[in-house]
Structure 1
Amino acid sequence: MPKIVTPLTDTQVKNAKSKEKPYKLFDGGGLYLEVTTSGGKLWRMKYRKLDGKENRLAFGAYPEVTLSDARTKRAEARKLISDGIDPSQDRKDKNLSNRQAAANTFEKLAREWHTNKLGSWRESTARDTLRRLELDIFPEIGSFPIGSITHQQMIAALRKIEARGAHEVAHRVKATCARVFTYANQQGIENRNPAADMRDVLKPSKAGHFAAITADELPAFLAAMETNDARLFKPTRIAIRLMLLIFLRTSELIETPWDEIDLEKGEWVVPWHRMKRGKLTINPDTSDHHVCLSRQALELLRELHSLTGGSGFVFPNQRDARKPMSNGAILMALKRMGYQNKMTGHGFRALAMSTIKERLGYRHEVVDRQLAHAQKDKVVSAYDRAQFLMERKTMMQDWADYIDEIRRSE
């Protein structure tokens, strides 16, 4: 028969004194208190593993771990044993899992997700996505294990973005975070994805068009360009003038290398892979874009060549000529001119579209093709390129002359 053990009392545990040699006070069920020669009191449990070998578990020291606490731990261990689980191995597995969970921080998983997406994103998308995370999210929850992040912590991070008035950015960042949480779950790293169901937490983002001046506001804008009270550098002023004259997208303009432009022939052809639709990962548009230069635009390019012709880029970065002008340079210039939230780089395209149709009487299809907008019908798209080129050249010269006429009338 198994030896009957009288359970310990709190008084016995409390009053146990050290002796010349360590000794044990048994509570039954394998649980005992080991009293060391220095007076330490350590809870232990003796049990047999599945292979029959004897093993021991440590439950901590008294009084941090009380007699009641030790008995609870014993019960939990005996339950594991009855289920065929070695409690010692179970503890090791849980410790490993906890260490892995602590190592799987939001920032670590977000950077992994970002790296995996690089092959399917445009360079600007990859750059902007990571920048928003680095600015707004990593400082707030980046160091937290991803499985530990709560709704309240996620909300607090997003509301800091809202607090500066960036409501649309807050919504975009929320969507990005939700995708990071989903990525972690797909990797077997469990989390609650607190960003996934926040439909009513953030303030609604007002959808709208890019800020753009109207045709009636164009004279004042041209006057501001002439006076140059903002003291813009010459290349920056030329960049804004060219955006007005040829209305390329900002990135398509500032990232232009000189070898795309033939100043002698007055031709500028942007290769398809630099165009917005050419950068699509699925069914990219592989047609090059003819800019159609007016006489005034060509004069500006020749003037610019005397300033930056020694660089690979038409608009080199002031700090590093091996790189193009920063995308934010145009917005900063417009801000210094007094047009913050009134005009954007994309706004020049909207201005041209509306004004050329309304004031110069050109058909929508012709202006649309000059804007390099995609045609849904590929047959129509091919026809447009073949039939509209000469009409577009005439239109662009008329547009430049119209702008000059406004400038002279001021």
Structure 2
Amino acid sequence: MNILECLRRVEDRGAVETAHRVLQIVGQVFRYAVATGRAERDITPDLKGSLSSVKGGHFASITEPKAVGELLRAIDKYTGTFTAVCGLQLAPLVFVRPCELRAAEWAHIDLEAKEWRYFVTKTGTDHIVPLSNQAVAILSELKPLTGHGRYVFPSERTPHGNRCMSENTLGAALRRIGYSKEQMTVHGFRAMARTVMDEVLGIRPDFIEHQLAHAVRDANGRAYNRTAHLPERRAMMQQWADYLDGLKNGAVVIPINRAV
């Protein structure tokens, strides 16, 4: 079987992101084969540059490290409401779906354990988000303001916190700091994390997919449970947060290699 030829067929019908995901799954199979003595090595890293880059479609995203640093600095300078500032600062650190971020509940967050546990409606599964030191610091600052209510990010119109932030709040905040819908969206923080962690930091794709709350299956086709690779994911989330701090502070960055 010619793997690249199969990927090209997927790519040729316009499903570029699907082709990349298929390559990740093939990589999981190869790594299992290597571990069990059925293959000598995983060949999928050699094929990454052969696929077209995933272009932002409906959810525009920034994935170039230098531009990511510029975005993070713009967020820190935002002069909107404190809850909106915290929401924008937290979004790249946890890269959950926008609806999950704005509906975050204090009852689901354990700052001492550095965990956020909640039910993902889209997939019908429970999910664990390990919280980096940076994420805990943001939430700790916000808790005195909104911790008396249900939601971490309550609506400005409901001071008692019985309704969560509007779906337009964070998107509007991005517009106010100079990023159009064609440049960056709140959902785009997910693509940012997936792309940079994979292509720059070299983190295992299955760890990233787990943290994105995507369905990930083992070599036998069984879905992993929510605690799969949790220690590794904790380390990954802290590494990611530290890397973002470096970008924000102007660290020298490694450019993403794009397919020609």
Q: Structures share a fold, TM > 0.5? A: yes
Matched, 1:310 2:151: no
Partner residue, 1:277: 123
Paired residue secondary structure (1:291): strand
Partner residue, 2:38: none
The 5 Å alignment of 1:127-146 reads none
Paired residue secondary structure (1:392): helix
- For 2:206, the aligned partner's letter is E
Matched, 1:214 2:70: no
The alpha-carbon deviation at position 264 of structure 1 amounts to 2.4
The alpha-carbon deviation at position 225 of structure 1 amounts to 1.6
Matched, 1:355 2:196: yes
Matched, 1:292 2:144: no
Paired residue secondary structure (2:116): strand
Partner residue, 1:248: 96
The 5 Å alignment of 1:65-76 reads none
The alpha-carbon deviation at position 375 of structure 1 amounts to 3.1
The alpha-carbon deviation at position 317 of structure 1 amounts to 0.3
Which of 260, 270, 290 is equivalent to 2:108?
Answer: 260
Q: Relative to 1, partners in 2 of residues 1:359 and 1:372: Cα closer, same or farther, differing over 3 Å?
A: same
Report the Cα distance in structure 1 between the residues aligned to 2:185 and 2:194, rounded to whole angstroms.
Answer: 15
Q: What TM-score, normalized by structure 2, do the two folds share?
A: 0.69
Report the Cα distance in structure 1 between the residues aligned to 2:143 and 2:150, rounded to whole angstroms.
Answer: 11
The alpha-carbon deviation at position 382 of structure 1 amounts to 4.0
Report the Cα distance in structure 2 between the residues aligned to 1:326 and 1:219, rounded to whole angstroms.
Answer: 26
List alignment gaps of at least 5 residues for structure 1: 1-206, 279-286
Report the Cα distance in structure 1 between the residues aligned to 2:222 and 2:185, rounded to whole angstroms.
Answer: 28
Partner residue, 1:339: 179
Identity over aligned pairs, percent:
41
Q: What's the CA shift string for 1:216-268, capped at 9, x where partnerless?
A: 3111111212222xx21111111111110010101111111110011222221
Aligned residues: 192
The 5 Å alignment of 1:2-401 reads 208-215=57-64, 216-228=66-78, 231-271=79-119, 274-278=120-124, 287-320=125-158, 321-341=161-181, 342-375=183-216, 380=221, 382-383=223-224, 385-401=226-242
Q: Relative to 1, partners in 2 of residues 1:384 and 1:288: Cα closer, same or farther, differing over 3 Å?
A: closer
RMSD: 2.1
Is the Cα contact below 8 Å between 1:369 and 1:384 reproduced in 2? no
The alpha-carbon deviation at position 275 of structure 1 amounts to 3.1
Larger Rg: 1
Report the Cα distance in structure 1 between the residues aligned to 2:118 and 2:221, rounded to whole angstroms.
Answer: 21
- For 1:337, the aligned partner's letter is I
Is the Cα contact below 8 Å between 1:212 and 1:344 reproduced in 2? yes
Paired residue secondary structure (1:222): helix
Q: What's the CA shift string for 1:183-214, capped at 9, x where partnerless?
A: xxxxxxxxxxxxxxxxxxxxxxxx93411112
- For 1:221, the aligned partner's letter is L
